[in-house]
Structure 1
Amino acid sequence: MSETKSHKQTGNNIPPYQPFPTYYEEDEIDLYELWLTLKKRKVYIFGTTVLFLILAVIFVFVSPQIYKGEAGILPQVANPFLIKKEIDSLSSLLKEKRLAELSSKLKIDEEKLSQIVSLEARIPRENKQLVLLAIETKDPNLISEIPAKIISYLNTTRFIKEKVETEKEKLTKEIASIKNNIDILKSLQARVLKNPEAYPDVNPYDIAKTIVELEST
């Protein structure tokens, strides 16, 4: 009996399994260390965030507001590409800060010109006869004033003057030719009405119709 009891006591003292040593996963250690680091530096991180926020607000209030506008120029006689080239030369003066020269061309104060940020001309693909003038300025009043000044300048430039004079001369010749043709037709019409037998293949009404069309040209 005593041996049996002793054996039972010994069996109760032996643990059912051997416990494993306590350890942490490597990822858990890294995250824990990161949390400790962030906790120590939270004041620095918060301060940096606030600083960037303040700088952003200051930039919004300090930086000047830029106004954008676009105007279309539809040349009647001049080549649109020549118009664009001339505007590009004005834009170059602006970029090079040659405001005195630009002021002389556009007849506008240098102080106003200094408010212009950019000036660009382009010809859209869908309409090769149109020149689009894009302007960026700190003064919204210049959105309409600058295009008007540029158009006025273009009308006084040498190459456009020559083009206008050439077209005017061409148009004058065409008008003279039309008037001459009208006079010839009226003379023929009078002869047909006076002696229709002499012009059996000529219809006086067709002549009258042609005269009206030429006069309305």
Structure 2
Amino acid sequence: MEEKKPVKKDQEIVYYQEDEIDLYELWLILKKRWKVVVSTPLIFVITAVVYIFIAKPVYTSSFFVKIPKNISGYIKYNEKGVLRISPVYLFSQEETISLIKRFNYKSKDFSFIIASESKEKENKETIKIEIGVYKPSIIPDISKSLISYLNSNPYVKRKIETERAKLQIFIKESKDKLHEMEKTKELIYKDLKNGKIQNLGFNPLDLDTKILNIKKEIAELEIRLKNLKGFEISVYPAIPEKPSKPKKKLILAVSVVSGLFLGVFLAFFFEWIENASRRHKEKQL
């Protein structure tokens, strides 16, 4: 930008500032300070390359866990990926450290563990667990260990045991009821055959229908009891072939752009410092 130029008007000096930017003058400044413009992004790129070589590659994988129906309403998440199964928090920073020790892994094997709600409509009853590790070969073992950890939660165990006891009571009551119905049916048919009962007042075939319904109810309850297993993996994690971090291309691109912007800024800043210093010396003379 050109400096203010004095103009005499009625014995007075009037200063004005030109608004136009002389692009050629800017080019001359950049040409003059080319070392700064070139060396700054070069330093950034070298730093980025060193970081890429030093940084440990992180392998990311995710899997889905089926939530037991009796505790699905107690699952909560926060913005940091911390899973909360009331009243216990899981996968917080402290819990992750505890998990590492529990699984007999070293801290250098883990990068992060994040739990979140599945975004897929058909998987609303599932938890998405994303894990970052430095050794991809341990991903299958970690997923199994995490399921074991979830099912060992005292709150989860209590809810599962309560539901199991409830189902067992229902099955026992239904079987007792079935036994009584079958016994009653046997006596009625026996009395009908011997002519002891002339008029029942109801169709004896209705007993067969009720007995079948009770058997169906028992079968459904036994299936529910059999499937009561707590948390289960619904989609197993894949072992990634390439690391997700560090993002080499992105880091290099950002370093080049950032270094170039800073280099241009420094070039103009040094030029301004030099001009200001020169004007200051001229005034002193």
Per residue, is there more strand in 1 or in 2? 2
Q: Does 1:152 align with 2:148?
A: yes
Q: Does 1:102 align with 2:102?
A: no
Per residue, is there more helix in 1 or in 2? 1
Change beyond 3 A, Cα 1:47–1:138: same
| Paired residues for 1:1-217 under 5 Å | 30-76=22-68, 79-80=71-72, 81=74, 84-85=83-84, 88-94=89-95, 99=97, 101-104=98-101, 106-109=102-105, 111=106, 113-124=107-118, 126=121, 129-194=125-190, 195=192, 197-204=198-205, 206-216=206-216, 217=219
SS of residue in 2 equivalent to 1:71: strand
Count matched residues. 184
Deviation, structure 1 residue 179: 0.6
User: In structure 1, what is the Cα distance between the partners aligned to 2:37 and 2:201?
Assistant: 105
Change beyond 3 A, Cα 1:94–1:153: closer
Q: Over residues 170-199 of structure 1, what are the superposed CA-to-partner deviations in whole Å (9 max), with x where a residue is unaligned?
A: 111111111112112212332443317432
Query: Any conservation in 2 of the 1:77–1:163 contact (CA below 8 Å)?
Result: no
Query: Any conservation in 2 of the 1:91–1:118 contact (CA below 8 Å)?
Result: no
Q: Over residues 149-180 of structure 1, what are the superposed CA-to-partner deviations in whole Å (9 max), with x where a residue is unaligned?
A: 12212333333332232222211111111111
Runs of 4+ off more than 4 Å? 26-29, 125-128
User: In structure 2, what is the Cα distance between the partners aligned to 1:69 and 1:31?
Assistant: 51
Query: Any conservation in 2 of the 1:77–1:164 contact (CA below 8 Å)?
Result: no
Q: In percent, how many aligned pairs have the same letter?
A: 26
User: In structure 2, what is the Cα distance between the partners aligned to 1:76 and 1:31?
Assistant: 68
Structure 2: gaps of 5 or more residues? 1-17, 77-82, 220-285
Change beyond 3 A, Cα 1:31–1:165: closer
Query: Any conservation in 1 of the 2:115–2:127 contact (CA below 8 Å)?
Result: yes
Q: Over residues 40-70 of structure 1, what are the superposed CA-to-partner deviations in whole Å (9 max), with x where a residue is unaligned?
A: 2223322333333333333333322222222
Deviation, structure 1 residue 27: 8.6
SS of residue in 1 equivalent to 2:112: strand
Task: For 2:116, give the aligned amino acid.
Answer: R
Structure 1: gaps of 5 or more residues? 1-25
Higher relative contact order (CA 8 A, sep 6+): 2
SS of residue in 2 equivalent to 1:37: helix
CA RMSD of aligned residues (A): 3.2
Query: Any conservation in 1 of the 2:108–2:134 contact (CA below 8 Å)?
Result: no
User: In structure 1, what is the Cα distance between the partners aligned to 2:163 and 2:53?
Assistant: 53
Change beyond 3 A, Cα 1:186–1:58: same
